[in-house]
Every structure is written in C-alpha cells, then in structure tokens.
Chains A and B, each alone.
Chain A
Amino acid sequence: MPEKHESEKNKIVSRRSFLKNTGMVTGGVVGGAVLGGLLGNPFKTETPQGDPEKKTDFHEQTPVDYSETRQFFKRKEDFDVLSMATERIFPEDEHGPGAIGLGVPYFIDKQLAGPWGINADDYMKRPFLTPELNQLPQVPLNRADIFILGVRMLNEVSKTDYGDAFYNLEEERQIEILQAFESGEVKMNKVSSAFFFGLLRQSTLEGAYSDPMYGGNKNMEGWKMKEFPGAQMSYTNVVEEEEFLLIDPVSLKGHH
C-alpha cells in the first residue's frame, strides 16, 4: 500500500516532534514516568524482542521456546491443517507476519486446552433445538470437538476433491475450500461448517491481536502492524494530540 507509506512520513516526523516536545526518548514507551505518575512507574521498558535470529550477548544460542508445543491437538496432521487454515485467514504479506508467524496456531491450541475449549462459561444444558428467525446458535458440541471435526473435514474435502492434504494444496484451492466452509456449503455432522469457520476466524483474530502472553501476537507484531500500542497505562498526554502518534507497544509483561 504505497500511498499509506507516503502519508506515514509526515506522521513519523510528528511523532518525533511530540517526543522532543515532551522530553521523551525514542525506543522507550510513551508513558512511563511522565504519564504514569500516580502509579509510580508502571512500565519497565521491555527488552527488545525483535529479531529471533539475533544472538544475545549472554547466550550463544537462541533459547528454545518450550511453550510452543501442542497441548490440545494430539495428531500433528490436525494441527498442520489448522495452521494452514489460520494462515489463509490472516496471511503473511508486505505489512508483516501471518497467523503462523504470529504463533496463532499455538494460541488456538492453548485456548482449546483450557476452559474456553470445553465451553466452561457457557450454558450447555439440553435440549439443543433448532433456532428460528434470529435466535442464537444452539450447538451441543464444545469448541474442542468442533475444531477437531472442522479441521478433519477440511482435510477430507481437500483429499477427496484435490487428492492431497489441505496444507499441500495451492493457495487458491485452500481459499476455495475455506470459502465453501464459510458459506456453510460443506456438510458436517452435528455442527454447520459455517459455525466452525466463524469460530476459526474469530480465534485467528484473537490470536493475532491478544496480549503475547497467550502465545499469539508474537513479539507484538500483530499490534505493530495495526499501530496499536498495547497495554499502555495512560494516554493523558496523548488525548488532545492533533497528529497521529505511532507509539511502541507494551505488553502485560511490561507491567508490574
């Protein structure tokens, strides 16, 4: 989107002048001691997490991220289908990483392994009857069951129609199959393919934009692409600012 980058130039200048005017330095966070007076300093400027390839001064090797291990999905095949489906929903492009690069598949895996996966906070008592008019969905399965059924059906349709696993198909084929799920054309047992797709889309966006502590939005790249500053504590000095301010995001890890 070249026109966007053009218009960004002015904004970057504005941001610099803002920081200069407020006596703050770049690289830190707009906020901190200046804005967060009441809380003392609620920020600890985060250690830059940028390039995972880059070796630190302290260790000769990149630390292993043990949290990126499947908790919920028992079969790797299911997880690989899920991963590719999320990538098609939120693809890598010139703006930045896609769902896989952001850790979205692991985010969804963790969510499904917890209370959200078993609909712990939802009313799940029977009977489950068919909605009329605009009544809300009545689905007897929990989200964990729906994801398993859904990703297996994605793969089954791929193999039946195109003779290969979903993640091996060309991008165009993958998109067509997901569109068929979105429209509810694909018949699934006990739940509609449209309902599964809605859940898949919602959880992909949640994974892209939730606090990185949940396993997605890796290095806050989702927030950076969206120019969202994350879990800031105060905007008192920004609220009346006329120009758009691009503020480095902070996560909850940056809080006390």
Chain B
Amino acid sequence: MVTKLPKVDVVTVGVGWAGGIVAAELSKAGYQVVGLERGGEKATEDFLHAHDHLKYEQRQEVMQKLTNNTITIRNNLQMTALPVRSEMNYTIGTGVGGGGSHWAAQTHRYFPYDFEIRSKTIERYGGEKIPKDMTIQDWGITYDELEPYYDKFEKMAGISGEEDPLAAKRSNPYPNPPLKRTPAMKLFHDAAEKLGYHPYVIPGGNMSQTYTNPDGETLNACHYCSFCSGNGCEIGAKSDPVVTVVPTALKTGNFELRTYAYVKRVIYDGDKATGVLYVDTQTGEEFEQPAELVALTSFTLNNVRLLLLSNIGVPYNPETGEGVIGKNYTDHHNYLGATGFFNEEKFNLYVGSGILGETFSDFVADNFDHSDVDFIHGGQVEIRQLGLSPIVNNNVPSGTPMWGKEFKKQSLFYFNRTPLVMTQKASLPWKQHYLDLDPTYNDDHGDPLLRVTLDYTDQDRNLNKFLTGKCAEVLKEMGADIIEEHVMPDHFSGAANSEHSGGGAIMGADPETSALNNYLQMWDMNNLFVCGSNAFPHFGAANPTLTMGALTYRATEGMIKYLQEGDGLLVKAKSTKQNS
C-alpha cells in the first residue's frame, strides 16, 4: 500500500551538501522543495559530548550502518564480489548533513588540466601517452566556466585559506584568512621551500574567524580541538549543511525536510521522472512523492545504485565500453605517504582540525613535465595535523613487534614524534573499472547491493612510488631520524575511511560517453539531475566536495531554468567520439 502525496516542484534524494545546496537555491527562488533524508536530524548540540574516539572514529557513530546495506567488491571480472562487512571498513555519512557533517573540510579547486585532461594530455605529449583502456575524457566544462561556482561555494562555506601559488586564476580571494600554523607545519613549509616547492596552508571549511556567509548564516572560529574529521562540530566552526544551506532553505518557508525517508526508486513515465518512491524506515510505510523535478543528491554510490535499481539510462558494459551508468568508477582512498620518526623533537600533535596542514601542488595535474614519468596527472604532498587519536596512532619503526613490551615503549615514545606527511593523488578511470548491481547480495528490501569492480594499476603504483618518494624527501629535509615510505597493497580491498568515490554517472559533452550534461542533467531524462562526485569523469588529486559543490551550484541554475522554461535539454549534445 503506497500513499501518494501532493506534488511538489522539487524533491531531493538525500540532504547533505548536494541536497542542501539544491534545497537552499530552489527554495530561495520560490519553488516548493521536499528533502528526503534516510537518516535522522542533527544539530551542533549533538557534538558537545562527542570528543570520544571510540564512539566516533572506531564505532563510526555518524556513519551509515552496514547492517542492511553495503557494497560488494571484486578486483576483476572473473572474481566473485564479496561484501564489505565491517562498519570499521566503510565510511559513508548519514543523517542530515551527510558527509558534510563528518568531512575533514579540505577544499582545493581542481586544475584547468583536470577538466580537459584528455585534450591537454594529447596536446602536450601525444595520444600514445594515454595507456590503452584508460578512459580519461574531457568533462564538457572548463575551469573558467566553473570558476564562479567555486567562488560561490567558498563564500557559502566560509573557506579559510591561503592561495596556492600554482593554482589557476581566482575571481576573488578566500573569504577568510588561513588557519594558524603549527610548528610542524612551519617545519614542513621551510623544508618544502628549500627543496624548491611552493607550500601553502591548506584551505577549507574550518573557520579562522567568526564569519557570516552571503545567506546570513554565521559560523564560529575554530578551536583546533582535534575532534573534527569523523565528528561534527559542537560550536558550528566547521562548514556543514546543518549550519549553512539547510537552515537557509528552512527559513524560506518553502523547504520541507523529511527524515527517516529512504528512497527506493525514481518513478517515471517514458522519459520524464514523475517522482520517487520512499519508505519511512521507522514504520515501514511506503510513500510516493510526485515532483516536477527530481534531484538525486545522495552519496556517489547511492546515486548510481538508485539509477540502476530504477532502470534509468544505459548500464555500462565493461566488455564493450558502451553504456554509461556505472562507467568510469574511481576510488580515491589510497592515502599513503611516509612516516618520519623524530627522536629529538616532540610536537603538540594532539592539536588539530580537519584541514590543519600545508601542502604543495608542484606535482599535481600537469604542473610538471610528465615526459619522463610513467604516469599521468599526479598528487599533492601534505602535512596534516588532524589531532592524533591515541587508539589508532601507534607508529613504531619497522622491525618493532606490534604488541608487547617493546611495542608499548616505542609507541609511547613516538606518539608525539611522528607528524603525518601523506599524499592525495589523482585516480584515473579504466575500461574494466565500473559499478553494477550484485548478483548475490541484497539489502533488507530485497534490492541488490552495488557491486564495485576495481583494482590498482601500474598508473597507481608508479604515481604512488613517485609521491611517497617526495614525502620522504621532505621528511629528510625536516630532520626526521627514521623515514619509512608506505608501500601500496597489491590489490584494492574496498575499504574506505572517507567518502572519496567518483564516477558512475559522469558528465560530459556527448550522451554516448556520459550520463549527464554539464548542468548534471540526465541526457536521457530531462527533469532528473544527479548531483554528486558521480559526475566526475576522473578523480582529481584533492578532496571532492568543493568541485562537487561547485557543479551542484551550477546545476541549480539549470534546474531553475528548466522549471521556468519547461521541457528541454539545457545543453546541446555533441558527438565527440574521443574514446574510440
């Protein structure tokens, strides 16, 4: 028995950053918006008692529980995919705010090279630089076209930052100055500079001062308390949909937020979405919410799964490379670097915030000549000061037993002597990496889980080796006594300690090779918009939220245009055939 509800202008599936941005922009423009969120509500007060590593980091308090829904993973087409079973191995936010509550809040812009990666790679190195079956493609948008929306997200979220000397042109400075520098950050800065690199303080959504955004929402200054990434902020000093776009939407009077509403299907008639089918997860009651426009705004993997479950768009076929839903799946979770053990110096490493740190972009994108390296794109070298959890930070020099007397002695000694130097690197797509529905494992509704097929490639291994070498070089210059480079595992395990998944419903200029146009509008269903990192044709070096948020801000302009002008595609399709 499904109860049919009155029709609204817009329904969003999920109320995190993407759903919050859609809700805020469309409700400000006078449209009636309903936000369906599978989890509960959140408020800053929830986090006053949250300085608790066991509950938040180990037991993943603010994350989706895997009891009923997870992913399955295999490395190649021949293997049987198996589920990621342990809550500890999978981090996806849930509840209002979603990933935007627990995120670390780093916000680097992608580089102009990212948006035209295929054309620019061929232009500089020739087509043979791109390995067979690497399916990089241009995004159907340029940096200059997206720049105003980067600016808009940064102002909404009150980004504190210092300009990257190697980044592309900005229309405005960051709305807030960078965070303070710790001694470890200064040491990194000086070392990187001596080596000829261009370090700067990491930008992001921890406030360096009290800030009121253009929507009138006020954020407080960060206390560097360290319970940041993986937690929400009890004083509203981290940008979060809960303290920005959600209240902005609610105060228009045009936005209704419904929690514990889990969307099972997009409902459609021909090539028009008519609404969504959802279940109240507390009572089991089912509802149909009709809408003029449907926005999928949940996590990347859930957006793609919902398209597959709803049978919308042509599923990707990894044998032929045809089809688009599930294509170009990328995973960004392989954060390695080098551990530097300092015997003489101790740092206040218990101090921290999600973004606290420095980095340099000398090896990101095409900022250096790739003629003599065996990979494309690159990554950033970072020092991060998140604030150490004593439970999981037990660095000991290799050769030390992992428990017992010597382990205790060494792990106590080095706790405040091993600042984190790591890399985040680009993840590029391959023909054989994709998402589809699992043939064996289901959720409690009887719907198949999402299946991931992905493995590490020589591109990943070569890039990782190059970058961990740079981490070691910087640590040596910083004066570390023992330096150990992290070694990449042979195969991808499916474990994810953050929400950095990309692709599966990507944007582009050509409906043959992309699911969405550059307004994130489905080529095949004009009143369905899919907002998330699912739109990324490849994963750039840095964290996804800013680029995802900028694309979503731009998508809301498309949505408003669509609602004003009625039926139609916002962008004319081009045939690019760039992957043939």
Contact = CB atoms under 8 A, between A and B. Distances in A.
Interface of A: 1, 4, 7, 11, 35-36, 38-39, 88-91, 93, 95, 116, 119-125, 127, 129, 131-139, 175, 178, 182, 201, 204-206, 209-211, 214, 222-223, 225-236, 238-242, 244-245, 247, 252, 255-256
Interface in B365-383: none
11 contacts: A93-B408, A93-B409, A129-B80, A134-B490, A232-B51, A233-B51, A234-B223, A235-B224, A241-B348, A245-B348, A252-B51
B181 interface: yes
A255 B45 CA distance: 13
A123 B224 contact: no
Contacts of B80: 129, 132
A205 B390 CA distance: 9
Contacts of A133: 75, 79, 490-491
Interface string B490-505: 1111110000000000
A209 B82 contact: no
B220 interface: yes
B87 A135 contact: no
Contacts of A252: 49, 51-52
B223 A134 contact: no
B494 A136 contact: yes
Given A91-B405, A233-B225, A244-B347, 11 more contacts: A90-B408, A122-B67, A123-B69, A138-B82, A211-B54, A231-B227, A236-B221, A238-B351, A240-B181, A247-B350, A255-B49
B42 interface: no
Contacts of A206: 54, 58, 391
Contacts of A245: 348
A95 B492 CA distance: 39
Contacts of A123: 66-70, 83-85, 441
A239 B180 contact: yes
B202 to A, nearest CB: 14
B212 interface: no
Contact of A135 (B66, B73, B234, B441): B73
Contacts of B53: 209-211
A35 B235 CA distance: 13
A129 B68 CA distance: 18
B174 interface: no
Interface of B: 48-49, 51-54, 58-60, 65-70, 73-75, 79-80, 82-87, 89, 180-183, 220-221, 223-227, 234-235, 344, 346-348, 350-352, 356, 388-392, 394, 402-405, 408-409, 411-413, 415-416, 440-442, 489-495
Contacts of A7: 344, 346
Nearest to B415: A226
A249 B232 CA distance: 22
A33 to B, nearest CB: 14
A122 B491 contact: no
B354 to A, nearest CB: 14
Contact of A256 (B48, B85, B402): B48
Contacts of A232: 51, 225-226, 350
A209 B493 contact: no
Given A93-B408, A121-B87, A122-B86, A228 B348 contact: no
A238 B75 contact: no
A153 B341 CA distance: 38
B416 A244 contact: yes
Given A121-B60, A135-B493, A206-B58, A229 B48 contact: no
Nearest to B78: A132
Contacts of A255: 48-49, 51
B468 to A, nearest CB: 19
Contacts of B60: 121
Contacts of A121: 59-60, 65-67, 87
B220 A205 contact: no
A138 B72 CA distance: 12
A211 B83 contact: no
B491 A134 contact: yes
Across the A-B interface, give the 10 residue pairs with the lowest CB-CB distance, nearest first: A231-B51, A234-B223, A134-B491, A244-B346, A210-B54, A209-B390, A121-B87, A235-B351, A121-B65, A235-B224
Contact of B180 (A36, A204, A225, A240): A240
B403 A226 contact: no
A204 B220 CA distance: 37
A242 B351 CA distance: 12
Contacts of A247: 350
Nearest to B495: A136
B558 to A, nearest CB: 37
A236 B224 contact: yes
A124 B85 contact: yes
A241 B351 CA distance: 10
A205 B346 contact: no
B502 to A, nearest CB: 21
Contact of B408 (A38, A91, A134, A235): A91
A148 B522 CA distance: 53
A226 B54 contact: no
Nearest to B223: A234
B416 to A, nearest CB: 6
Given A122-B87, A209-B391, A225 B67 contact: no
B415 to A, nearest CB: 5
Contacts of B65: 120-121
Nearest to A98: B408
B85 A231 contact: no
B406 to A, nearest CB: 10
